[in-house]
Structure 1
Amino acid sequence: MTTNLPSEIQEIASRIRPLDEEAIRAAQARLDSLTKPPGSLGKLEAAARQAAGVTGEAMPELSRKAVIVMAGDHGVCEEGVSAFPPEVTAQMVLNFLHGGAAVNVLARHAGADVVCVDVGVNADLSHPRLVARKIRRGTGNIARGPAMSRDEAIAAIRVGCDVVAELAAAGTRVFATGEMGIGNTTPSAAILIALGGLTPEQAVGRGTGIDDARLLHKRGVVERALAVNAVDPRDPLDALAKLGGLEIAGLVGVILGAAAHRALVVVDGFISSAAALVASRLVPACAPYMLASHLSLEQGHGSMLEAIGLSPMIHMDMRLGEGTGAVLAFHFLDAAVRLMGEMATFESAGVSQQ
């Protein structure tokens, strides 16, 4: 664990316990008793064991699921790093709230709730289903100075923790990380470079689909951000505050909060993984509570997952964000749990095991 954690994060960290090894052993015994060769269901079996360890139940009940979509704007959009204008952030938040985005469609099919949180949108938004927790109206331009203050980053983390606590109290047991923020692959790449030791060529990708000229420009913007902000690579909170986004900080809180409530958190793509990297460096004990959903096409995502110690469940050539890949992984998680509960054992089916 990072030393000198703020008291708010220290309190959450103190509630994160190791996975329940007895439940993992019981889940493994159940898996080995099913009518199949040992380990033949691969990552489905790994997910079943992890879910057991997270919840402390050999055969966990995971029907209540939610994707938390954190939304925030980025001052670095002033540098022309995205193919879309920053106004799209607020417009897409309303799209989420009206149920029309890709994550809404996929969540409906997965039986999951979509919870949209305004933690830093540069607009005045109002909707009955919006969770309004705005810390400030967008971040500063990281190419010219810090994204936010340390206190603002902590406040955004607290937002994520609080939203998880409210949902967990209502019975949610699985969370997915989702986000919306035009320009947010830029701060995510900067975080990866600062904490993961990659070069801009390795970490900075095309985001919303920029051309070669703008990609080179984007790399230069990230290089300036790193030079201007002089991040301490030993201090993940410093990297988050100086380089990150309010929605990224909110997702750090979602991850820490889920672990504190013994809930599984399914990590989406590049931006979500930047939050996961910060969370794992702040409180390493939260990493076993994460399940990586997919490998994004965004450059650097594989390196980001490796830095956390995660392996993606699926490869779908996706790069949309919103939590779409994580929600797709809900189906695989449901399959893993159903196999444990519904598949016949060698004994019950009268099948020879040797």
Structure 2
Amino acid sequence: ARLRARLPRQTGSAGALGRLEDIAVWLAVVQGGETVRPIAAPRVVLFAGDHGVAARDVSALAPGHTAHAVREAAAGGGAVGLLAGLHGAGVRVVDMAVDTDPALLPEAVTRYRVRHSSGSIDRHDALTTAQAEQAFQTGMDIADAEIDGGADLLVVGDIGVGNTTAAAVLIGALTGTDAAAAIGRGSGIDDATWIRKCAAIRDALRRARPVLGEPLRLLAVSGGADYAAMSGFLLRAAIRRTPVLLDGIASAASALVVQRIAYRTPDWWLAGHVTPEPSHAKALDRMALEPLLDYKLRYGEATGALLALPIVQAAACLAAELPVEDEKADEDAAPSLTKQTTPTDAGDAEADSTADDPWLTDDTAIEAGGEPPSPAPDAPPPAGPEAAGRRALADDAAGPRVIEYGGSGGGFVPGPGDDSGPAGVSTPTR
């Protein structure tokens, strides 16, 4: 509330920063303070896994795409590497169920692997209950490691063939949406592939509905190792009071499952963007999360969230660094009165004759709202030209202008062409 009241004083009017103000206030709340701390150490975590349902020919991506994308991202390449480097974010890739020989991937990537691919969810469970528990705990452990390592904002994304099918099943089951209304074109599928995908989701939804009341069991039946890990990651980040920027439909599906575990967890998340997948928008709506961007992206790998990251960073920077306008106005409006003398034709001697004038000492710089110093008790009032007033420059929004000090009425009087003194400055009298 304090930041919300302060922002108009920083920008000059209420709502001047639009939605950036909402983001700044959200950040202040999740950071646990009355002011915003700039985002200094964002971290991207990608959970990777293949899905057995892809064997039903529901994706336009070829087998082996996941392993290739994981190798590329782990090496700092691909879209995620470029965007993360652009915005100063570190990247971590976690293989949960990639269908490839682990020796072909870095050991740091494969150390948490639960299995080779997840089961085909239209006919089989994606995981055993024990595997789901292991993956969920892995996600929690990784969140702890990232937060303990200094991350102040987490970006969660996914890599995997068949992952939009699993996401549509989870979201469809949790929102009561049927198969045809839950799916889009995913990886860019044609009509025939869309029909096959719709049938696979229909069958998977039948298997998911009986376990809706058991979130971990739902992840085992209809999710996958990557979804279970993302769910544990999101839950632990909320427990650790660390903000998370969600990416696409996979992270939204995992978030929706976590909301079933702890209803207020979405308070710690921000939706980076919304994809063209219909079920993605349904999931965000159910969690009351408004996406920052709608660029029709379906690339995955946290690219949408990374495009939104500089918006969040900008909101934090502006709220933290913009000066309060009232204070700046006071500083700008305070006149600085300095002695100004103009040598006359009589020479420097006459110009220097004011040096001992008690009304024109260097101490006559007046603070805003203050009183000018009094002359010595026995000092005579100024005579001659000084009686008409002493001139000093005061800067304000209109530029320098002349203010006369003295004159017949005493105090500050407008200079030639002025109707009033500097804005925000009182006019003390002697």
Report the TM-score, using the length of structure 1 for normalisation. 0.89
Shift of 1:122: 1.7
Query: Quick check: 277-286 or 32-41, which moved more?
Result: 32-41
SS of the aligned residue for 1:130 comes to: helix
What does the per-residue CA deviation read over 1:57-91, in whole Å, with 9 as the maximum and x for residues that have no partner? 22224211111000011111111111112311111
The change in CA–CA distance for 1:331 and 1:169 in structure 2 (over 3 A counts) is same
**1:52 partner letter:** A
Shift of 1:229: 4.8
Are residue 81 (structure 1) and residue 54 (structure 2) matched?
no
Are residue 116 (structure 1) and residue 93 (structure 2) matched?
yes
Look up the match of 1:180: 159
Look up the match of 1:4: none
Look up the match of 1:316: 295
Shift of 1:150: 2.4
One of 56, 71, 75 as aligned partner of 2:32: 56
Shift of 1:301: 1.4
Identity %: 34
Look up the match of 2:413: none
The 2-side partners of 1:38 and 1:102 are apart by 37
**2:266 partner letter:** A
Shift of 1:129: 4.9
SS of the aligned residue for 1:34 comes to: helix
- The answer to whether the 8 Å contact 2:132/2:228 transfers is yes
Are residue 234 (structure 1) and residue 210 (structure 2) matched?
no
Q: What stretches of structure 2 of length at least 5 have no aligned partner?
A: 331-422, 425-430
Q: How does 1:100-249 map to 2 (within 5 A)?
A: 100-125=77-102, 126-127=105-106, 129-130=108-109, 132-249=111-228
Q: What stretches of structure 1 of length at least 5 have no aligned partner?
A: 1-24
One of 251, 255, 261 as aligned partner of 1:282: 261
Look up the match of 1:340: 319
SS of the aligned residue for 1:59 comes to: coil
**1:90 partner letter:** A
Question: What's the RMSD between the two structures over aligned residues?
Answer: 1.7
Look up the match of 1:44: 20
Look up the match of 1:5: none
Query: Quick check: 123-132 or 181-190, which moved more?
Result: 123-132
One of 67, 70, 76 as aligned partner of 1:93: 70
Look up the match of 2:409: none
Shift of 1:141: 0.8
The 1-side partners of 2:279 and 2:175 are apart by 10
SS of the aligned residue for 1:279 comes to: helix
Query: Quick check: 30-39 or 90-99, which moved more?
Result: 30-39
One of 260, 267, 271 as aligned partner of 2:239: 260
Shift of 1:349: 2.7
Choose between structure 1 and 2 for higher RCO, CA contacts under 8 A separated by at least 6 residues. Answer: 1
- The answer to whether the 8 Å contact 1:31/1:45 transfers is yes
Shift of 1:131: 5.6
Shift of 1:226: 2.0
Instruction: Tell me which stretches of 4 or more aligned residues in structure 1 moved more than 6 Å.
Output: none
- The answer to whether the 8 Å contact 2:207/2:221 transfers is no
**1:328 partner letter:** L
The change in CA–CA distance for 1:200 and 1:342 in structure 2 (over 3 A counts) is same
Shift of 1:181: 0.9
What does the per-residue CA deviation read over 1:22-59, in whole Å, with 9 as the maximum and x for residues that have no partner? xxx23223323212321232221111111111111222
The 2-side partners of 1:56 and 1:121 are apart by 38
Shift of 1:222: 0.7
What does the per-residue CA deviation read over 1:271-311, in whole Å, with 9 as the maximum and x for residues that have no partner? 11001111111111311000011111122211110111111
Look up the match of 2:8: 32
SS of the aligned residue for 1:71 comes to: strand
The 2-side partners of 1:129 and 1:232 are apart by 34
Query: Quick check: 88-97 or 58-67, which moved more?
Result: 58-67
SS of the aligned residue for 1:152 comes to: helix
Query: Quick check: 226-235 or 341-350, which moved more?
Result: 226-235
- The answer to whether the 8 Å contact 1:194/1:231 transfers is no
Aligned residue pairs: how many?
329
